[in-house]
Amino acid sequence: MSEVKKIATRESYGNALAELGAQHDNIVVLDADLAGATKTSVFMKAFPERHIDCGIAEGNMMGVAAGLATTGKVPFASTFAMFASGRAFEQIRNSIGYPHLNVKIGATHAGISVGEDGATHQCNEDIALMRTIPGMTIINPSDDVEAKAAVKAAYEHEGPVYLRFGRLAVPVINTNPDYKFEIGKGVALREGSDLTIIATGLCVNSALEAAEMLAKDGVSAKVINIHTIKPLDEELVVEAAKATGKVVTVEEHSVIGGLGGAVCETLAAKAPTPVLRIGVQDTFGESGPAAALLTKYKLDGAGVYEQIKAWL
């Protein structure tokens, strides 16, 4: 049996930007001295005249992006998730969100899978922060296919978009030839009747693995991939909750304010349902190999399975 192809979504981001750049000359890519890590270096090599290194000054970069957007350019401001959502929050809120400018934020190295860089760089709060900004669209792709589609969709979408990418190479799971990416629409990857697992980002693969393990125990789990956390596909979430009666959310993000929070807010208002939130449990990460951290924090397939079994 051939090995499953793996690629980091930050690689997908760089490749997608270069492809789009060849098609649209109004795209400008900004970086905060991290082009090699965010992979915007791919775009920089192809279109050096449309790449701006703003240096280690993330807040200023967001201001530059806002200015470019007012001239009709479509800027992709790129840096680590920690620096984009954290260090530059005020500039994103006031200079991009408030005037609702057409700026795309490429936030790489999100979550604990950043690994050895440790807690200071493992951003588990970015989705929660960005969700509070009115009009901000938030996309957290699960693999290479989805990440490339997300970048294209972000370009075509009018308004600010926060794109979340990872450092760790992850399996390509969206191999269905009929796969279609649409902002605000989740994707059902597996049918089931006993419970619904709603996952995002690299945890979509973990959810699928956990569902396979549950099936061996006679538990039928529906798996939904939520790539757009804001706006959330409320119709799909509510429909699945009503059909199975139990919901589990899985994310490489704090259980406070992320996917779990968004799902719970929706269900509390429209279809009260028991929910188990699996994610980073109100704690900071730590330095270590990415795979080992995912295992320790129970965000790999076995860890998700173990938590669901205990809950059931």
Residues marked active site are found at 58
- The DSSP symbol for 154 reads H
Token pair of 128, please?
A: 């929660």
Closest residue by Cα to residue 203 from 146, 252, 154, 134: 252
**Who's near 239: CB < 8 A, 6+ residues apart?**
none
Radius of gyration of the chain (CA): 19
Rounded alpha-carbon distances, angstroms, from residue 263 to 51, 137, 257, 258, 268: 37, 16, 10, 9, 8
**242 CB-side CA count, 13 A:** 9
Report the amino acid identity of residue 216: K
> What is the CB neighbour count within 10 angstroms for residue 297?
21
Phi and psi based region of residue 195 (left: phi greater than 0; alpha: psi -120 to 50; beta: remaining): beta
Rounded alpha-carbon distances, angstroms, from residue 160 to 59, 96, 157, 213: 16, 7, 8, 39
